[in-house]
């Protein structure tokens, strides 16, 4: 009766430990479409495929940079190593679910002094064994081992998806850095042209002051504009050097055998990219798939923690030969075997099993929140990229009109000064505004292309060929 009571108490305790409140299910409801960015725009009904990497970035120099980054980037190597680590951990866990068999042999010799024996004689004894051992094998009645296998597999898949997400981020970072370098090249060229023009204007003005045609104040005004241009050029060259250094780091300092870079207008990043339906992000974006796998791993760990409340049945066995002498180890009649099944059931462990379950459930709730936050972030990034593309194109069109107006203003101001109808200060102000408009136009052109890159990244990126295929 007492034994039956203990078994009943243990069973009730196990069942009570398994009655837990299920966590809230992930809320992945997305709006039916992204916020409209153009008048009368409608979300496509289909989920269009994104262009492949070589089609998205047609510049051969940029393609070579992307291939070098995918092959030599050190952080990407770290991500690949973590994937290999997760795969090894999964193999270790799956191996624990299979019976382990090992071949063993042992031998002992002992001598007992005469004063320690009953017979009063010194004895020498030996024992030798050889055979096959079945290591401790757990019979998975309650699914604990299976759940641990599922958790390890989900962690491996999550790590691999995280690696894919990093590749997409790396591609976007390389492309944006490359575009920034091209922007700075063009702005430096504009600054150098402007500097040459202003150096000539300063030379002419200094000569006119020497002959008394203009005042020294006008000369100082021209000199101020000249020095400002030199300062701007030095700042642009500093930024260009930093962009080149960053691009070199991203590509792993690999040499690039590629033609010279194309200008911004030759990058081919002005094509439309249909975003598709918001729900497609759940399968497109690797970071969302990684969060989903982390959630699956957390759920499997909860199942394993619940199964720890049930009895644990472990089998061990061995078979072979045994003998007191080494010469009789393989003689007839020396066979031996043992079979040891064991059952363990937690009754009182200071609350460790319950705490493990609470920990697993807390991590599951955190995984749900992480998944929901990842989905919401993905939706916001796509919406932001769409808005950036739309309004930057509008802003670029207005900037083109402004540049034309400033260029015409500078021409008219020069004509009025030459005819004596205005001061040279009007010319300087017009030239300063024209230079700023030229610089801003190049910045907006690059920003629009970067918005396209960000949209490509936010949508999960397209098919990625091997680095050898891109070179």
For the sheet containing 123-139, what is the strand order? Answer: 101-112, 123-139, 312-323, 335-344
- pTM for the predicted model, two decimal places: 0.84
Give the HSE-up count for residue 256: Cα atoms under 13 Å, Cβ half-sphere. Answer: 23
The answer to whether the beta carbons of residues 65 and 253 sit under 8 Å apart is: no
* C-alpha to C-alpha distance for 325 and 440, rounded to whole angstroms: 94
**pLDDT greater than 60 at residue 5:** no
CA of residue 124 relative to chain centroid, distance: 67
What's the sign of the alpha-carbon dihedral 202, 208, 214, 215?
A: positive
**Residue position matching structure tokens 């090992």:** 102
- Highest mean pLDDT: which of 10-24, 203-217, 402-416? 402-416
**Residue position matching structure tokens 């030379």:** 203
**pLDDT greater than 50 at residue 6:** no
* C-alpha to C-alpha distance for 192 and 188, rounded to whole angstroms: 6
How does residue 8 score in pLDDT terms, banded at 50, 70 and 90?
very low
Average pLDDT over the chain, rounded to an integer: 84
The answer to whether the beta carbons of residues 355 and 17 sit under 8 Å apart is: no
**Tens digits of per-residue pLDDT, 51-83?**
888 889 999 999 999 999 999 999 999 999 999
Q: Is 376 helix (H, G, I), strand (E, B) or coil?
A: helix
**Tens digits of per-residue pLDDT, 80-95?**
999 999 999 988 888 8
* C-alpha to C-alpha distance for 67 and 469, rounded to whole angstroms: 8
Instruction: Compute φ and ψ for 353, nearest 5 degrees.
Output: -65, -40
**Quick one: pLDDT at residue 258?**
84
Residues 6+ apart with CB under 8 A from 394: none
Tokens of 144: 């604990």
**Quick one: pLDDT at residue 1?**
47
Quick one: average pLDDT of 454-468?
77
**Tens digits of per-residue pLDDT, 373-432?**
999 999 999 999 999 999 999 999 999 999 999 999 999 999 998 888 888 888 889 999
* C-alpha to C-alpha distance for 20 and 50, rounded to whole angstroms: 44
**Quick one: pLDDT at residue 321?**
81
**Quick one: pLDDT at residue 424?**
83
Which residues sit opposite 103 in a β-bridge? 132
**Tens digits of per-residue pLDDT, 246-293?**
999 999 998 888 899 999 999 988 777 888 778 888 888 999 999 999
SS (H, E, C) 216-257: HHHHHHHHHHHHHHHHHHHHHHHHHHHHHHHHHHHCCCCCCC
- All domains in the chain, ordered by first residue: 29-97+142-312+351-470 (1.20.1600.10)
**Quick one: pLDDT at residue 96?**
78
């Amino acid at each position: 009766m007492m034994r039956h009571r203990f078994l009943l108490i243990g069973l009730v305790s196990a069942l009570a430990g398994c009655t837990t409140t299920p966590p809230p299910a992930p809320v992945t409801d997305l709006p039916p479409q992204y916020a409209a960015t153009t008048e009368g725009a409608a979300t496509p009904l289909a989920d269009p495929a994104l262009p492949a990497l070589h089609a998205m970035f047609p510049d051969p120099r940029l393609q070579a940079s992307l291939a070098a980054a995918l092959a030599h980037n050190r952080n990407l190597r770290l991500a690949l190593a973590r994937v290999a680590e997760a795969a090894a951990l999964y193999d270790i866990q799956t191996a624990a679910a299979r019976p382990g068999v090992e071949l063993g042999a042992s031998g002992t010799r002992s001598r007992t002094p005469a004063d320690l024996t009953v017979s009063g004689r010194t004895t020498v004894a030996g024992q030798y064994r050889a055979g096959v051992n079945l290591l401790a094998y757990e019979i998975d009645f309650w699914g604990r081992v299976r759940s641990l296998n599922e958790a390890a597999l989900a962690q491996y898949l999550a790590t691999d998806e995280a690696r894919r997400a990093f590749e997409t981020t790396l591609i976007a970072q390389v492309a944006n850095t490359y575009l920034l370098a091209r922007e700075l090249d063009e702005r430096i060229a504009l600054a150098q042209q402007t500097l040459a023009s202003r150096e000539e204007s300063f030379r002419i003005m200094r000569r006119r002051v020497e002959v008394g045609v203009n005042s020294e104040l006008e000369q100082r005004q021209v000199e101020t504009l000249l020095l400002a241009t030199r300062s701007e050029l030095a700042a642009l060259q500093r930024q260009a050097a930093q962009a080149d250094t960053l691009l070199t780091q991203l590509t792993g300092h690999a040499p690039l055998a590629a033609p010279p870079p194309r200008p911004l207008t030759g990058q081919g990043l002005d094509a439309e990219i249909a975003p598709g339906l918001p729900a497609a992000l759940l399968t497109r974006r690797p970071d969302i798939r990684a969060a989903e796998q982390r959630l699956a791993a957390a759920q499997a760990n909860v199942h394993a923690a619940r199964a720890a409340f049930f009895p644990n049945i472990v089998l061990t066995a061995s078979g072979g030969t045994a003998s007191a002498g080494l010469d009789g180890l393989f003689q007839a009649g020396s066979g031996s075997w043992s079979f040891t099944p064991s059952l363990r059931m937690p009754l009182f462990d200071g609350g460790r099993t319950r705490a493990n379950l609470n920990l697993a459930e807390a991590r599951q709730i955190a995984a749900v929140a992480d998944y929901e936050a990842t989905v919401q972030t993905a939706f916001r990034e796509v919406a932001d990229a769409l808005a950036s593309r739309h309004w930057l194109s509008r802003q670029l069109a207005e900037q083109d009109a402004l540049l034309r107006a400033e260029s015409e203003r500078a021409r008219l101001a020069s004509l009025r000064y030459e005819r004596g109808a205005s001061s040279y200060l009007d010319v300087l102000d017009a030239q300063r505004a024209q230079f700023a408009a030229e610089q801003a136009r190049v910045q907006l052109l690059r920003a629009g292309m970067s918005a396209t890159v960000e949209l490509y990244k936010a949508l999960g990126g397209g098919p990625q060929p091997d680095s050898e295929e891109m070179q």
